[in-house]
Amino acid sequence: MIDEHRRYLRDRHRVSAYERALTEVVPTNGIVIDLGSGTGVLGMLAARAGAGRVYAIEETGMAGLARRIVHDNRLDDVIVGVRANSGRVSLPERADVVVCDQLGPFGVDGGILDVSRHARERFLKPSGTLVPHAVELSLALVEDASLHQRIRFWHEQSAGLNFSAAAEIAANSPSRVRLRSDRLLSSVERATALDLTRETKLPLRLSTVLRPSRDGVLHGIGGWFIAQLSPSVSMTNSPLDAHRIRRRQMFFPIHEGTDVREGEPVAVSMQILPEAGMYSWDVEIPGNRRFQHSTMQALLLTLDDVKRTDPGHRPERTPEASAHLTVLSLCDGRHTLREIECRVFETHRDLFGSPEEAAAFVARVLA
């Protein structure tokens, strides 16, 4: 986790974009909320931009480290650390600005829609500002045999054995990659623009026509985002932008490399359920060549998994679930942690070989 935050802070284009945007939108002595604050960098930039109070909300153990960082930067009198889930926390006041950075490689795949909804409904003043407040999703054709090798690999024998059953799953699995600009086979088209200050209708439906800029072999579709942070500041992970942030892009493969000609229309349509991580993409090339993909076809489900989703299925409590129930039933404000650990070990000796194993299990449940 700490290395992830190191990489974030080293991304000078990303940090600089947020710094410029917050300087532009934070009112003097205004209230700011930093959702998913991590090290607290965005909240501290807001404080430096003139905020009178910043609520830094972070669910993980990073909240403790962030408090030390805030103290070391002498911002204790401005920044209030709150360790909680942003979807459940209550604050004493609403904010002039809510800032967050839950942007994945394709923009919507990092939780930004859900976080923005929480910000609008629970934290932001009616006249407040959301950072970012809009996201555009862009698409382009990609010719990159090395990326397509991830599918072809499964058609080749390994150790003299046949693993081709996995090829269908690989062909329906988008991947986070670093696209090279010289591997783009077409110009870039904006597929959709999302206003984060309003409710977004789901599933997202994207549709565009991409035309190859040269003859080549199509291996898939590349996707990335442009986020509008403030009226004059945006940031992007576009492989064509010299000032792009260090976030990877998304690659949506097609089953097989297919020849395309310069200028011929390639129709691309997508449906996305961002919070579920579900995608479908349909690529149609002149000459009745069509590729239909869906992450539904990449789910690693057994027949038993499917049966358990049947509304008529009658679940039975497992021994481990019974141990969970024991822990939760003792969370009544009267039993100490030691008492809970002892009770779990005594009651479920068939599950735990030692008191230490039972204690570790209790810790996981309580977490």
Assign residue 267 the CATH number of its domain: 2.70.160.11
3-state secondary structure 193-204: EEECCCCCCCCE
**How many domains, the chain?**
3
pTM, two decimals, is: 0.88
Where residue 94 sits, what CATH number does that domain have? 3.40.50.150
Percent of the chain with pLDDT over 90: 93
Question: Coil, helix or strand for 5?
Answer: helix
Question: Are residues 156 and 194 located together in one domain of the fold?
Answer: yes
Residue 361 has pLDDT above 90, yes or no: yes
Which pLDDT value is given to residue 309? 86
Q: Is the pLDDT of residue 346 over 90?
A: yes
In which band, very low, low, confident or very high, does the pLDDT at 305 lie, cut at 50, 70 and 90?
confident
Average pLDDT of the residues in 352-364 = 95
Average of per-residue pLDDT across 304-312: 87
Domain that holds residue 247: 135-301
81-99 pLDDT, tens digit per residue, is 999 988 888 899 999 999 9
Per-residue pLDDT tens for 141-171? 999 999 999 999 999 999 999 999 999 999 9
Q: What is the pLDDT of residue 248?
A: 97
Encoded tokens for 310: 């049947």
R_g over Cα of the chain: 25
Whether residue 47 contacts residue 54, with contact meaning beta carbons closer than 8 Å, is answered with: yes
Query: Are 294 and 341 in the same domain?
Result: no
Q: What average pLDDT does range 177-205 have in this prediction?
A: 96
Q: Are residues 150 and 290 in the same domain?
A: yes
Domain final residue, candidates 53, 75, 101: 101
Q: Residue 312: pLDDT band by 50, 70, 90 thresholds?
A: very high
Q: What tokens were used for 352?
A: 């735990």
Position 364 pLDDT exceeds 90: yes
